[in-house]
């Protein structure tokens, strides 16, 4: 039981008082984000479960409903999001190697692509609104009431289950979009501090951590796209 | 635990692979594969894409073992949620449905 | 025994470091945040307790004469919701855990102090929304919110209450996240995983459950709220959904949540048993790993709440089997605690009385859990008072006993004052007696068939209900006494030395109350957990160690 | 209560209740054993090793792998005995015997509506004969309820949109509690009633005294006609624009996606309220949904009618393959739907 104490290092301005050094702070930040992403996975997991259950119960209705989604916009959006993930990765890279300008450009691009994704999503939502495909009375005054003929309601599908598909669709893409909006907010925050020159090769944990979040949101979409837009296409894509 | 800087080349190849994956999954969706194969193909491609993002964009390939454990446990718990819920739904009719 | 500690000039601690409301409301000090939580959960406990007394008074007579049936339904629902989500889940982690996790591992604070403060605000916001819902008209779905009653048929404030619980969930997630990261990255030099006090292991396991389970209840409640508002649904059979899916998702969280409630308490009891018998815990690694095992296996058994819900018979068997498996780690703990006492030097301070009470009552509560996990018996006793008795034995007799024991044990550290020991022991015994009188008769009433959530009941059950209500009155008094003397002691209690019990834990090797950064220097740990030594050898590892907190 | 009052045990009045009680006593025994053992050892240690001197530091005791294994394995084994026994009783509770008399139960906020196959209706009361196996086919019109008869040690949720079953064989005549055990709203505690178990002869008298009512199958036939099912499925279910319904109950039906499915209660119910969900091969999606037009009770009646169709069909093969729904042993065969069919 010897008496020994660990002295503080000379500290970096970004070092918070309760950490010993930047390395520890970085480790904590990254670990924190990963743990948070685990909660996100479970959060979406509940919806994926509901989706899987009902698709297996009502395959025909889900195929019909899914065929009515705009596959072009969906695919474009997937590309947009993957691209934004790439620019995000580049933002981290440029910070790590200390290229300020390239770092700012990558962040701006990521934000623009993120907004682009949200814009396209909004167009899609609007189409669904026009087709009266918003389930239940989510939008008061515009209840779920698609034209059955439009829907090509084929043998084995029931309108009720089509509506259920759309509820799951809106719940999942809506939650995803919410995460995108939060992500764009976080990126703007990063951009602001990048312009002020806060991040450097020694200290860039926020860029990294927000990058992790952004990639996670991308991954969710990588699953949503085939599940919502693609499965059931082969039964007769309209 | 000094950090690993991934070269730009790797990022670009991953990006391209993801784009190709997207194209393939769209094309595959219109093919009429037998049985449940459509689902399997679509999900396999999605899993591959997600793995690429996790390993390279999210740097897990170069990260501490703890991060691997975290990623694995998230998947494991999703697995629990699915497996045990479906243990109910799939066996409901074993005794004849009512 | 204070001779060992040379009196030093009184100095600044976390309480008197800064003054003013603002310094509290904007604090990032985990110890102050713990006190903020302590105040708020006590408030919610008393609200929940008043509801409990209303339940008990109503059930004094078989006719529903005191409250109307709608009111009664709201009362037990709100009792359950407040006690579970706003009292018991945050109780130990957010107060004792918040205060002690950094101190026990030799850190200056939690990894994310701002997030820690945020979690308190989220808790208060969630609590505020819930209180609003209660005042606006209340909610009558039962704390389980089963659909389609909650989505379609109830006309009470389901959405607002759900929102409160949803918000509150994030506070729990953030606390868990903070603990996990802190325990991983901020242990003092020499504090290896197997030198961690068992309290830390328990909190680590609890945090795992918090981050893995809570998001699922969050999304479930959110979907429920939307389904109610928009008349759509994956849970509502009228529009093609399956109400049993809701039950799966609800219990996927809420069963593990019962381990959020009990694991921290088990952690406290491990500390108490070891420290008040001055023994290293018997089978340290078994106790540590059983916490993790409970956290992991706890996720595999949720379907035992669905045995009669029309769930598949085979799923029922799987869940029953796994429920029995999860009982084994609990058994390991109970036996190791008992064995720890062997050849110890056992004192009977108030915290130890609570710990001993815990072991006994938890055993009864846990064993009756096995009744419920036994399929054939479950069919008869589910949704009767047998269940009510089971979970109160664990949640009140177990979890709250652990909480009160811990609160007394660390009170000198938290407040810098001693509580009156005589009163402490007296109220511990009173609570023990009142508790058993309240809930034991409910086992009997339950097996006789008295259903739960009944506002009026057939007269033959009255005798058990009278006993129960009598017990609850004793219990209420028993809870009031500590509330009074603890508050009293903050001002008038004997000043506590840094290490009043002469214990080896890091939290005792600094002054009471601790300074803002806990230790003046980062301590270096060279001893094992629960390595007892003569007091003069268990030296202080922070620089100063004074005996007297400054009197305000 | 007519049964003798055994302390702390509700009246035991079904073939199952003794089995549940035996298991329960086993559990009580194990619990008492462990509780006494632990509190006994605890008390002993606490007294024996109480602190005698404030300075004493006991010697640390190392753990013992042997002990740890012992107290993990033994409780596990004990737990497995509970599991196995419990599962065995559960199977008996859950698997209805094939030759049981069916009774329909519909839960509704806040009452139980019961109908016997012979037509007698009851509310919040259920008359059953002693010594005969009874199977309840249950559903609900609104929220989840739970049919609980403590004296028989059985209960099961009734779930909207589904059919659940319970079975029992009463052993002692008497009047027993019937509770709703799943919280269902304002008057949950008022959703109670009684189960009256009668000696078979008394029961037959009771049935006879109440025989003016239509049997569910007859009522179902009327529904079948007024709802216009006849126009597609034919007057006696012989088929037309829609598939034949004769003898379909309990048989495999081939769907248009090539799968085949057992035509049980749930399937027939779904075919009526949501006909598009599963289409019989060779037929288009022309059957309209009847959701909202028929109550759960009426659905059960139509179901009874469709079931009854197979009694008269000359295809015993179809019946043999099905979980046989034997004709009710009750005497009121005059009200049998078959007769009405002719
Ligand atoms: C802190 C809370 C807590 C804890 C820790 C537990 C622990 C356990 N619970 Fe409990 N439970 C609740 C809170 C809790 N429960 C609540 C709130 C409900 C009702 C919810 C509602 O519907 O409102 C409930 C309901 C409930 C049910 C559902 C009943 C129903 O609705 O039909 C079941 C069924 O299996 C169950 C089982 C168990 C088991 C097996 C354990 C085990 O973990 C217990 C393990 C402990 C021991 C076994 C004791 C120690 C061991 C020994 C002394 C050695 C001897 C051991 C052996 C021989 C194995 N509980
Ligand atoms: C942590 C969880 C927790 C705690 C601590 C308690 C504590 C208590 N509970 Fe609770 N209870 C639940 C969780 C909890 N309960 C849950 C989840 C349910 C299920 C709800 C549902 O069905 O949806 C339930 C249901 C429940 C019922 C069943 C209701 C029903 O099914 O109809 C009953 C009945 O006796 C009951 C009683 C009590 C009593 C007497 C206490 C006592 O221990 C409380 C004692 C405390 C005080 C009394 C407060 C302190 C003293 C004062 C404030 C002084 C002032 C007092 C007076 C004016 C008298 N509870
Ligand atoms: Cu019906 Cu409770
Ligand atoms: Cu449980």
Return the HEC string of chain D.
CCCCCCCCCCCCCECCHHHHHHHHHHHHHHHHHHHHHHHHHHHHHHHHCECCCCCCCCCCCCCCHHHHHHHHHHHHHHHHHHHHHHHHHHHHHHCCCCCCEEEEEEEECCEEEEEECCCCEEECEEEEECCCEEEEEEEECCCCEEEEEHHHCEEEEECCCCCEEEEEEECCCEEEEEEECCCCCCCHHHCCEEEEEECHHHHHHHHHHCCCCCCHHHHHHHHHHHCCCHHHHCCCCCCCCCCCCCCCCCCEEEECCCCEEECCHHHHHHHHHCCCCCCECCCCCCCCCCCCCCCHHHHHHHHHHHHHHHHHCCCHHHHHCCCCCCCCCCCCHHHCHHHHHC
Is the distance from CB of C481 to CB of C423 less than 8 angstroms?
yes
Question: Which of the residues A26, A210, A226 would you substitute to probe the B interface, choosing the one with the greatest number of B C-beta atoms within 10 Å?
Answer: A226
> Out of B66, B77, B87, whose CB is closest to C315?
B87
CATH number for the domain whose boundaries are D216-334 = 1.10.760.10
H helices of chain B, in order, are: 8-30, 37-52, 65-91
Distance CA B67, CA B48 (A): 19
What is the residue with the minimal CA distance to atom 24 of ligand 1? C391
Ligand 1 pocket member C163 (CB < 6 A)? no
Q: Which residue of D has its CA nearest to C451?
A: D181
- List every span in chain D annotated with CATH 2.60.40.420: 1-43+64-213
Span A171-214, pLDDT tens digits: 999 999 999 999 999 999 999 999 998 898 888 899 999 999 99
Contact B98/D266, CB-based, under 8 Å?
A: yes
Closest Cα partner for C398 from C534, C266, C552, C541? C266
For residue D208, the distance in angstroms to the closest alpha carbon of chain B comes to 30
B25 contacts chain A (CB < 8 A): yes
DSSP, res C508: G
Q: Please name the chains neighbouring A, where neighbouring means 3+ C-beta pairs under 8 angstroms.
A: B, C, D
Contact D276/A155, CB-based, under 8 Å?
A: yes
Q: Which residue has the tokens 């609200």?
A: C47
Residue C280 in any domain: the answer is yes
Closest Cα partner for D17 from C430, C380, A60? C380
Contact D264/B98, CB-based, under 8 Å?
A: yes
Q: Which residue has the tokens 């579970």?
A: C84
In the predicted structure, residue D111 carries a pLDDT above the cut 50: yes
Ligand 1 pocket member C305 (CB < 6 A)? yes
Is the distance from CB of B8 to CB of A93 less than 8 angstroms?
yes
Query: How far, rounded to the nearest angstrom, does the alpha carbon of residue A159 sit from its chain's CA centroid?
Result: 29
Domain D1-43+64-213 CATH assignment equals 3.30.1490.190: no
Range of the domain at A177: 45-235
Distance CA D195, CA D160 (A): 23
Q: Which residues on chain A are in Cβ contact (under 8 Å) with B67?
A: 30-31, 34
pLDDT at A50: 94
**Sign of the C-alpha dihedral, residues A104, A106, A109, A110?**
negative
Angle at A19 (CA atoms; ends A18, A23), nearest 5 degrees: 165
State the average pLDDT over residues D226-251: 83
H helices of C416-493, in order, are: 421-448, 462-492
DSSP, res A8: P
pLDDT at C205: 96
CATH number of C182's domain:
1.20.210.10
The closest ligand to the CA of C247 turns out to be 1
Q: Please give the structure tokens belonging to residue D94.
A: 């859950």
Domain count, chain C: 1
pLDDT at D71: 92
Q: How far is CA B80 from CA B50, C51, C307, C538, in A?
A: 20, 36, 19, 46
pLDDT at C548: 38
Residue C362 in any domain: the answer is yes
Task: Count Cβ atoms below 10 Å from residue A235 Cβ, excluding itself.
Answer: 16
- Model confidence, pTM: 0.92
Q: How far is CA B50 from CA A82, A212, B14, B40, C195, in A?
A: 11, 13, 11, 15, 39
Ligand 3 pocket member D110 (CB < 6 A)? yes
Q: Are strands D133-140 and D145-149 parallel, antiparallel or unpaired?
A: unpaired
Ligand 1 pocket member D75 (CB < 6 A)? yes
Task: Count Cβ atoms below 10 Å from residue D59 Cβ, excluding itself.
Answer: 9
pLDDT at A159: 81
C245 contacts chain A (CB < 8 A): yes
Is the distance from CB of C117 to CB of C28 less than 8 angstroms?
yes
Tell me the percentage of chain D whose pLDDT exceeds 90.
44
Q: Which residues on chain D are in Cβ contact (under 8 Å) with C359?
A: 38-39, 42
Rg, chain A, Cα only = 22
To test ligand 1's pocket by mutation, which of D32, D39, D75, D78 has the most ligand atoms within 8 angstroms of CB? D75
pLDDT at C9: 40
Task: Count Cβ atoms below 10 Å from residue B63 Cβ, excluding itself.
Answer: 19
Is the distance from CB of C38 to CB of C46 less than 8 angstroms?
no
Ligand 3 pocket member D180 (CB < 6 A)? yes
In the predicted structure, residue A57 carries a pLDDT above the cut 90: no
pLDDT at C51: 96
pLDDT at D6: 58
Distance CA D178, CA D155 (A): 10
Distance CA C380, CA C141 (A): 23
B48 contacts chain A (CB < 8 A): no
Q: Print pLDDT tens along chain B (98 aa).
A: 356 788 899 999 999 999 999 999 999 988 888 778 888 999 999 999 999 999 999 998 888 889 999 999 999 999 999 999 999 988 887 765 54
Question: Which of the residues D185, D192, D289 would you substitute to probe the C interface, choosing the one with the greatest number of C C-beta atoms within 10 Å?
Answer: D185
State the average pLDDT over residues A135-158: 73
> Out of B95, B96, B98, whose CB is closest to D164?
B98
State the average pLDDT over residues D108-119: 90
For residue B3, the distance in angstroms to the closest alpha carbon of chain A comes to 9
Q: How far is CA D26 from CA A53, C319, C327, D21, D86, in A?
A: 39, 21, 17, 9, 11
> Out of C238, C310, C454, whose CB is closest to D164?
C310
State the average pLDDT over residues A85-101: 92
What is the residue with the minimal CA distance to atom 1 of ligand 3? D145
CATH number of A73's domain:
1.20.120.80
Q: Which residue of B has its CA nearest to C184?
A: B66
In the β-sheet with D121-123, what is the strand arrangement from edge to edge?
D121-123, D111-116, D101-108, D133-140, D164-169
Q: At what angle do helices C350-373 and C243-276 cross, to 10 degrees?
A: 150
Q: Are strands D121-123 and D125-129 parallel, antiparallel or unpaired?
A: unpaired
Is the distance from CB of B59 to CB of B6 less than 8 angstroms?
yes
Question: Which of the residues D166, D266, D268, D303 would you substitute to probe the B interface, choosing the one with the greatest number of B C-beta atoms within 10 Å?
Answer: D266
Q: Are strands D133-140 and D164-169 parallel, antiparallel or unpaired?
A: antiparallel
Contact B97/D267, CB-based, under 8 Å?
A: yes
Residues of chain C with pLDDT under 70: 1-11, 535-552
Contact D8/C448, CB-based, under 8 Å?
A: yes
Contact B84/C212, CB-based, under 8 Å?
A: no
Ligand 3 pocket member D105 (CB < 6 A)? no
DSSP, res C496: P
pLDDT at C21: 86
Residue C536 in any domain: the answer is yes
Least confident of A93-102, A153-162, C415-424: A153-162
Confidence of residue D233 (pLDDT cuts 50, 70, 90): confident
> Out of C184, C231, C533, whose CB is closest to A31?
C184
> Out of C109, C110, C240, whose CB is closest to A160?
C240
Contact B97/D95, CB-based, under 8 Å?
A: no
Q: Which residues on chain D are in Cβ contact (under 8 Å) with B96?
A: 262, 264, 323
Distance CA C425, CA C349 (A): 7
Closest Cα partner for A36 from A224, A216, A204? A216
Among the atoms of ligand 1, which is closest to the Cα of residue C324?
40
Distance CA C370, CA C366 (A): 7
Residue A8 in any domain: the answer is no
- Residues facing D116 on adjacent strands: D103
Distance CA A17, CA C29 (A): 11
Cβ contacts of residue D297 below 8 Å, gap of 6+?
D104, D106, D113, D115, D141
State the average pLDDT over residues A3-25: 68
**Sign of the C-alpha dihedral, residues C299, C301, C305, C311?**
positive
pLDDT at A139: 79
Contact D276/A58, CB-based, under 8 Å?
A: no
Q: Which residues on chain A are in Cβ contact (under 8 Å) with C184?
A: 28, 31
B26 contacts chain A (CB < 8 A): yes
Confidence of residue D251 (pLDDT cuts 50, 70, 90): confident
Distance CA C548, CA D225 (A): 92
pLDDT at A53: 93
Q: Which residue has the tokens 């391209």?
A: B16
pLDDT at A6: 45
Task: Count Cβ atoms below 10 Å from residue C269 Cβ, excluding itself.
Answer: 31
Least confident of A3-7, A102-106, A202-206, C541-545: A3-7
pLDDT at D318: 36
- Contacts B–C by Cβ distance under 8 A: 41
Range of the domain at C525: 21-551
């Amino acid at each position: 039981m010897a008496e020994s104490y660990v002295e503080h290092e000379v500290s970096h301005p970004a070092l918070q008082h309760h950490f010993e050094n930047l390395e520890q702070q970085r480790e904590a930040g990254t670990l924190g984000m990963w743990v948070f992403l685990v909660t996100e996975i479970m959060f979406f997991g509940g919806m994926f479960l509901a989706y899987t259950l009902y698709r297996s119960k009502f395959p025909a209705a889900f195929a019909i409903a899914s065929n009515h989604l705009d596959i072009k916009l969906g695919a474009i959006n997937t590309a947009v999001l993957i691209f934004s993930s790439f620019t995000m990765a580049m933002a981290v890279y440029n910070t790590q190697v200390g290229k300020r300008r390239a770092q700012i450009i990558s962040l701006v691009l990521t934000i623009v692509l993120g907004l682009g994704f949200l814009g396209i999503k909004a167009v899609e939502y609007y189409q669904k609104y026009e087709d009266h495909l918003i389930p239940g009375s989510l939008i008061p005054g515009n209840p779920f009431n698609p034209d059955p003929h439009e829907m090509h309601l084929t043998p084995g599908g029931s309108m009720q289950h089509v509506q259920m598909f759309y509820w799951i669709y809106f719940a999942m893409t809506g939650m995803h979009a919410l995460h995108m909006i939060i992500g764009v907010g976080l990126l703007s925050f990063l951009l602001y501090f990048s312009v002020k020159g806060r991040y450097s090769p020694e200290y860039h944990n926020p860029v990294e951590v927000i990058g992790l979040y952004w990639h996670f949101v991308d991954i969710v979409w990588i699953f949503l796209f085939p599940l919502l837009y693609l499965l059931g296409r082969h039964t007769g894509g309209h | 635990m000094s950090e690993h800087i991934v070269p730009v080349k790797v990022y670009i190849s991953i990006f391209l692979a993801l784009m190709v994956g997207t194209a393939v999954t769209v094309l595959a969706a219109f093919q009429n594969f037998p049985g449940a194969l459509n689902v399997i193909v679509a999900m396999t491609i999605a899993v591959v894409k997600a793995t690429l993002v996790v390993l390279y964009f999210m740097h897990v390939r170069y990260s501490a073992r703890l991060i691997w454990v975290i990623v694995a446990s998230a998947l494991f718990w999703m697995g629990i949620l699915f497996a045990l819920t479906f243990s109910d739904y799939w066996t409901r009719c074993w005794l004849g449905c009512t | 025994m204070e001779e060992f500690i040379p009196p030093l000039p009184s100095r600044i601690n976390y309480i008197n470091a800064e003054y003013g409301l603002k310094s509290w409301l904007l604090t990032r000090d985990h110890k102050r945040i713990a006190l903020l939580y302590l105040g708020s959960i006590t408030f919610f406990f008393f609200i929940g307790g008043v509801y409990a007394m209303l339940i008990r008074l109503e059930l004094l007579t078989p006719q529903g004469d005191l409250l109307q049936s709608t009111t009664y339904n709201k009362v037990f629902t709100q009792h359950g919701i407040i006690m579970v989500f706003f009292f018991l889940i945050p109780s130990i982690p957010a107060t004792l855990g918040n205060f002690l996790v950094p101190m026990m591992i030799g850190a200056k604070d939690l990894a994310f102090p701002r997030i820690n403060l945020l979690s308190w605000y989220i808790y208060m916001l969630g609590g505020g929304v819930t209180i609003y819902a209660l005042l606006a008209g209340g909610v009558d779905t039962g704390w389980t919110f089963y659909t389609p009653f909650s989505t379609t048929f109830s006309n009470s404030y389901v959405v607002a209450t759900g929102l409160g619980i949803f918000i509150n969930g994030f506070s729990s997630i953030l606390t868990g996240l903070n603990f996990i990261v802190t325990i991983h990255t901020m242990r003092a030099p020499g504090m290896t995983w197997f030198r961690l006090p068992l309290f830390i292991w328990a909190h680590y396991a609890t945090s795992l459950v918090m981050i893995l389970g809570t998001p699922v209840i969050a999304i479930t409640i959110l979907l429920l709220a939307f389904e109610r508002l928009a008349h759509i649904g994956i849970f509502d059979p009228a529009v093609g959904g399956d109400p049993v899916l809701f039950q799966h998702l609800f219990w996927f969280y809420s069963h593990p949540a019962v381990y959020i409630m009990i694991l921290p308490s088990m952690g406290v009891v491990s500390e108490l048993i070891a420290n008040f018998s001055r023994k290293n815990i018997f089978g340290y690694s078994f106790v540590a790993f059983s916490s993790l095992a409970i956290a992991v296996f706890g996720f595999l058994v949720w379907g035992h709440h669905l045995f009669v819900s029309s769930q598949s018979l085979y799923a029922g068997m799987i869940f029953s089997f796994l429920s029995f498996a999860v009982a084994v780690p609990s058994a390991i703990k109970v036996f190791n605690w008992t064995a720890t006492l062997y050849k110890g030097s056992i004192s009977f301070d108030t915290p130890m009385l609570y710990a001993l009470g815990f072991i006994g009552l938890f055993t009864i509560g846990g064993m009756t859990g096995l009744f419920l996990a036994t399929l054939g018996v479950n069919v008869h006793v589910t949704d009767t008072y047998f269940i009510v008795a089971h979970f109160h034995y664990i949640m009140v007799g177990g979890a709250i006993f652990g909480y009160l024991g811990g609160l007394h044990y660390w009170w000198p550290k938290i407040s810098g004052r001693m509580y009156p020991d005589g009163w402490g022991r007296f109220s511990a015994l009173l609570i023990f007696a009142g508790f058993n009188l309240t809930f034991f008769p409910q086992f009997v009433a339950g097996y006789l068939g008295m259903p739960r959530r009944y506002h009026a009941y057939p007269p033959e059950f009255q005798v058990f209900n009278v006993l129960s209500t009598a017990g609850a009155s004793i219990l209420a008094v028993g809870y009031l006494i500590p509330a009074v003397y603890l508050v009293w002691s903050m001002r008038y209690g004997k000043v506590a030395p840094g290490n009043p019990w002469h214990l080896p834990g890091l939290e005792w090797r600094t002054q009471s109350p601790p300074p803002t950064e806990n230790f003046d220097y980062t301590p270096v740990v060279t001893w094992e957990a629960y390595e007892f030594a003569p007091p003069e050898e268990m030296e202080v590892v922070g620089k100063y160690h004074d005996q007297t907190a400054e009197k305000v | 209560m007519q049964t003798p009052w055994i302390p702390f045990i509700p009246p035991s009045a079904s073939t199952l209740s003794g089995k549940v009680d035996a298991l329960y006593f086993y559990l009580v025994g194990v619990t008492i054993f462990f509780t006494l053992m632990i509190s006994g050892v605890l008390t002993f240690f606490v007294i024996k090793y109480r602190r005698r001197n404030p300075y004493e530091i006991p010697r640390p005791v190392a753990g013992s792998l042997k002990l740890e294994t012992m107290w993990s394995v033994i409780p596990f084994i004990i737990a497995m005995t509970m599991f196995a026994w419990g599962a065995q009783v559960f199977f008996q509770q859950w698997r209805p015997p094939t030759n049981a008399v069916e009774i329909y139960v519909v839960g509704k906020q806040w009452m139980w509506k019961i109908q016997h196959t012979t037509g007698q209706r009851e509310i919040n009361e259920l008359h059953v004969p002693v010594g005969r196996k009874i199977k309840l086919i249950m559903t609900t019109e609104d929220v989840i309820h739970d049919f609980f008869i403590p004296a028989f040690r059985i209960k099961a949720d009734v779930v909207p949109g589904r059919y659940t079953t319970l079975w029992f064989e009463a052993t002692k005549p008497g009047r027993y509690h019937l509770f709703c055990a799943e919280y269902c709203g304002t008057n949950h505690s008022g959703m109670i009633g009684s189960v009256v178990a009668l000696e078979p002869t008394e029961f037959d008298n009771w049935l006879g005294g109440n025989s003016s009512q239509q049997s569910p199958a007859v009522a179902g036939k009327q529904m079948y006609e007024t709802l216009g099912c006849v126009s597609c499925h034919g007057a006696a279910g012989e088929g037309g624009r829609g598939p034949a319904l004769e003898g379909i109950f309990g048989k495999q039906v081939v769907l248009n996606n090539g799968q085949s499915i057992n035509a049980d209660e749930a399937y027939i119910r779904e075919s009526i309220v949501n006909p598009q969900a599963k289409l019989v091969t060779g037929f288009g999606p022309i059957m309209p949904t009847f959701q909202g037009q028929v109550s759960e009770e009426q659905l059960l009646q139509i179901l009874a009618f469709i079931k009854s169709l197979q009694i008269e069909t000359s295809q015993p093969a179809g019946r043999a393959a099905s979980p046989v729904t034997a004709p009710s042993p009750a005497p009121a065969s005059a009200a049998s739907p078959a007769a009405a069919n002719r």
